[in-house]
Structure 1
Amino acid sequence: MGKVGGGRRVETYDAKLGEDVARAQQGDEAAFAAAFRLVQPRLLGYLRGLVGDDAEDVASDAWLEIVRDLGRFRGDGAGFRAWTACIARNRAIDHLRRLRSRPRGTLIEQDPMELPARQNTAAEALETISTVRAVALITALPHRQAEAVLLRTVIGLDGPAAARVLGRRPGAVRAATHRGLRRLGKHLATLGRSRVTDSDSRALGEGDDRTDPEVPWTPVTSRARRGGPRCGPPSRT
């Protein structure tokens, strides 16, 4: 996966994205296209972790909603990443509800965005393997851990933003991320092989978080109302 080099790249990325979004809200089509190019690869990566090969279709549905509601968005580049991830997740929930299943195996073509420096240790567990293998292992984690790790490493959200997307407490998301990456780190230390096997996925999925009192388990399709949690635009600070 991509080398994590600190927060400077993230700040530059978000500054450019924020400028493009602001201009797009004023009707600048070129700016919207630029924002799309910045967000779409990581959004597809996240969706592949949720819906597998149907990610392109779900992303198209998400962008229709993003375009529709763009004028109501209030936030910066980081806020836009969180907002679009929330919309994409809701469309994935709708899609999976229709399918009545949740795929586990996925592929991803893009490297994840670098995380801020304070998250370097969390990302180290994924640095030693290829992107495809990493996401295959992430999606084999217990569900809540997998979603938290995907949001942190693929979309590049910080803890509070990931918690808003998931509709959970920040502490619960931090715990799920920590447990997921710790599980990955321990498992990767024992691999020493050139490919991920079915037994790797089974090992990572054992002892899932349904029985964890600190991280109560609910499936991704469990929210009753259409679209899951509301994706309210974050306020500028």
Structure 2
Amino acid sequence: MDGALMDATVAAARVGDRAAFGQLWVELSPRVGAYLRSHGVGDAEDVTSEVFLAVFRQMGRFEGSGAAFRALVFTVAHRRQVDWHRQRVRRGPWVAWDDAGHDPAAPSAESAALAVLGDEWVVALLATLTPDQRSVLALRVVADLSLEETAAVLGKDVGSVKSLQHRALARLRKELSGKPYPREALARLNPRHA
């Protein structure tokens, strides 16, 4: 759109001409969207719509040429992209919703495969422990029982449970890293599990 046509379109939009609003949208929205995407705005289409809503709300008060209108649009776009980034810092990263994709409540095939492989790996790792060591770890870590509660369930004294837990953790660490379990690591464990 050349300068004279832009000036006339802005003047028509200022007095409420809906077709002029549409022409301004068609002319400038792709550029605004590209500007927003170039600044890393993830939902550029939504933010572009917000920019034009804000600009069109103030059209009745706007005084100026087509070039001044274009400057106004990009000033608002810049402020919206700054706001968008500030919100991401406060709210965390933006994740696009893929409406045409799979049901997010259903696990993907990859997730299901990794879960099965992960379960198999954990079972194989736990198979390196004695039955008593596996029982102690399951009761202490998974069931979150205290030493006393674990001892009562297994019919053992608290000292035996501590010893079994220590040996089980040492064995798992050795299996995972090939290095012996450091004694000082026990001091860092949650006192409930020590």
Q: So what's the TM-score if we normalise by structure 2?
A: 0.44
Which structure has more helix as a fraction of its residues?
2
Q: Which structure has the higher relative contact order (CA within 8 Å, separation 6+)?
A: 1
Q: So what's the TM-score if we normalise by structure 1?
A: 0.36
Q: Radius of gyration: which is bigger?
A: 2
